[in-house]
Amino acid sequence: MVSAAFASQQSNRSSIMSSPNNTIQISNSQSVVVLNNHATVKLNGMNYPAWKVQLNALLVGYDLSGFVDGELTCPAPNHHDFIYWRRHDQLILHAIISSVDQNVITLLGNVKTSKQAWDILNKRYASKTHARIMHLKERLTRYTKGSRSMTKYLHGIKSLADELAIINSPLDDVDLVIHTINGLGDEYKEVSAAIRTRENPIGFEELHDLLSDAENYHKRDDNTNDLQLVATAHATQKRKHTYNKKSSP
Q: What was the pLDDT predicted at 233?
A: 44
Alpha-carbon distance 130 to 38, whole Å?
35
For 18-56, what is each residue's pLDDT tens digit?
344 444 444 443 333 344 455 468 998 888 888 888 899
For 119-146, what is each residue's pLDDT tens digit?
999 988 887 778 888 999 999 999 999 9
Q: What was the pLDDT predicted at 215?
A: 87
What's the pTM value of the predicted model, to 2 decimals?
Answer: 0.60
CA 93 to chain centre: 22
Could you list the beta-strand ranges (E) of 98-227. Answer: none
Q: What was the pLDDT predicted at 249?
A: 54
Q: What was the pLDDT predicted at 221?
A: 56
Going by C-alpha positions, the residue among 15, 6, 20, 167 that lies closest to residue 98 is 20
Q: What was the pLDDT predicted at 31?
A: 35
Q: What was the pLDDT predicted at 46?
A: 82
Low-confidence ranges of the chain (pLDDT < 50): 1-36, 39, 223, 225-235, 240, 243
Q: What was the pLDDT predicted at 150?
A: 92
